[in-house]
Structure formats: structure tokens, C-alpha cells
Amino acid sequence: MKSALVSSVLVAASFGAFANTTINGAGATFPHPIYAKWAEQYQKETGVQINYQAIGSGGGIRQITAKTVDFGATDAPLTIEELNKESMIQFPMVMGAIVPVVNIPGIEAGEVKLTGKVLADIYLGNIRNWNDAAIKALNEGVELPNQPIYVVHRSDGSGTTYNFTDYLDRVSPEWSETIGVGKDITWPKKAIMIGGNGNAGVANFVSRTRGAIGYVEYAFAKQNGLTHTQLASKEGKFLNPSMETFQSAAANADWASAPGYHLLLNDQPGVDSWPMTAATFILMHKDQADAKKAQDIIDFFEWSYSKGELAEQLDYIPMPSKVVEMVNDTWKQNLKSGGQAVIQ
């Protein structure tokens, strides 16, 4: 089995020349494990080949804007103004969670507890050692080593970073005032920083660096045996990442009130709501040059929505049926080819 620790991944089943259609997409690494699974299964059933290059949300936005791929993927949703400017539509494909992962000698998964404020202070460089008093106060009875903290972040334009920094922005006034939110930010100088390309790159650096902390999509942490931390919910309860805590956070999502589906799910209310939960999005141009190709693309996404059990197997949260119905209406109303609706 190939390791998931690959920074740029080409997802494609290999029926080769026998595939009757090839669809090309690029973007976010956050959903790569489930997009890979869906692509593999879809080709087995239909012969249609889905090439998905996991290059980061920033790269996906650039490629779909330039029309060099059939669809783009981003974890940092575009605003309705940005979508209208490029004559694109955006829709959520699946939801997942971001987790802090650590490499601390002698520490097992779920053993260390963090709050959002302490996590922000680590990334700000205010906390630079694992036996800092602020961490010890949350972890009575845990043997924390006198070990410098190496802070791993994304080096590419990243929707995971966008959602991670959005969370820190919500829970830390200092982060909000000095750093803010973005796909590609200027990281604080006080911390010992290491940049990794993609979720896989961050996972790779954390796994091989003693004292490291990073942030990755949960499937990457699980697939690579990384040590996650607990994290305090908005109400202060310490939680382990799980399908139950992810679903609790996702249950509050109000998609109907989000123009262009622009919605972030961080720091949701609910004592059992995992605080870093995010959706990942697909971008397509409204004007499609090839009506059949556009229908083939939509057929794949519609099929993927129906395979929520595959998403759950990889610890993603399927989109609710009401949201899928909304997305179907978005396709029917907006996708055109030669002035005619693609979806009848």
C-alpha cells in the first residue's frame, strides 16, 4: 500500500484507453482520501476516469479560474462576489474535521488536552515548550517532557490553513489582532516554524520531528497513525475527534442562509461539537463548452453524494439530503452550454 504522505497526488483508476470519459480536477488536499475512494469506485462502475490532483486550495482556484481543469476544489469558500466575477458556481461536497497532531515522546493519541487559546499561543510562539505551565495546567497527571515545540504549518495556499486560522481568529483576540485569517499567511516569528506542502506534507513533518505539532484533516491523521490531541469545545468540554463530535458540529450548519454556500463551521455551539469542522467545495464555470462533459461531471458528483457510506468509512461527514437537493437546483439554474441548461 502506498503511503498517504505524498504532497501532490494524482487520483486515477487505470482503465487506460478504455475509459470513455476523463474528467480533470485539482485543488484541496483536505478531501483527497475520499475523492480518491470515490474516483476509484466510480471508474469500476462506469469506466469514467477522474483525475484529481491534490495541489492545495489556492492552486485549485487558480486552475479552475484559468479553465485548465474541469473543476476546482477548495476548502476556503469563495464569496458570492468572487464567484460572480468569474461566472462560477460553488457547492459543498463533503464535510470533515481538522485535528491538532503532535509528536511528543511518551504521549499517546488523545492523552494531551488543548484549548483553542493554548493552541493559538503555541502558534503565536507565546508557548514554546511542552512543559509550559499553561499546557501542564490542562494536563494534570500527564508526564510532559522538557521538549521544544516545533510548529508545523502549510507552506502552500491552503484551505485547511484558512479554516485553521479562522478557528484561531475566533478563540484568540491576539491572533485576530496580529495574524488574522487566510489561505497563505505570514506566520509568527517567535515560534519555531516548519512549512509542509499539503496535508500530507504537514503529516510527514510531524511524524518525523520530535516535539512537533501540526494541523491536518482527520483522515490523514488516522491513515498515518499520527497522535491527535483532545480539544475543548466551545462550551469547554474536552473532546476526542470522532464521527459523533464531527456530526454534532455539522448539525448546526445553516446552508440555506449562505449565499454561494459560503459557510464556515468552526467553533459551533454544542457541548459535544468538535471545534474545527469544515466543508470542502467544488468550483465550476457556469458556461460549459461541452454539454455532455458537463453532464458527465455532474453525474459523478451526484453519484458521490449518494455514496455517503464511503465518506463515513474515511471519517468524513456526508452532505445532508436537503443540501444535496439545494445543490441540484444550483446545477439546474446555473450550468449552461450554448445558452441551454445542461441539467434538464
Answer yes or no: are the C-beta atoms of 323 and 258 closer than 8 Å.
no
* Same domain assignment for residues 92 and 102: no
Q: Does residue 51 fall inside a structural domain?
A: yes
- Cβ count near 333 (within 10 Å): 12
pLDDT tens, position by position, for the chain (344 residues)?
Answer: 434 333 334 444 433 334 478 999 999 999 999 999 999 999 999 999 999 999 999 999 999 999 999 999 999 999 999 999 999 999 999 999 999 999 999 999 999 999 999 999 999 999 999 999 999 999 999 999 999 999 999 999 899 999 999 999 999 999 999 999 999 999 999 999 999 999 999 999 999 999 999 999 998 899 889 999 999 999 999 999 999 999 999 998 999 999 999 999 999 999 999 999 999 999 999 999 999 999 999 999 999 999 999 999 999 999 999 999 999 999 999 999 999 999 87
What CATH code is carried by the domain that includes residue 149?
Answer: 3.40.190.10
Nearest-5° angle of CA 271, CA 264, CA 331? 125
* Same domain assignment for residues 290 and 232: no
Q: Which of 54, 50, 56 is nearest to 9 (CA)?
A: 54
Q: Does residue 91 fall inside a structural domain?
A: yes
* Same domain assignment for residues 303 and 324: yes
Beta bridge partners of 22: 49
Nearest-5° angle of CA 8, CA 10, CA 14? 160
* Same domain assignment for residues 65 and 107: no
Q: Does residue 45 fall inside a structural domain?
A: yes
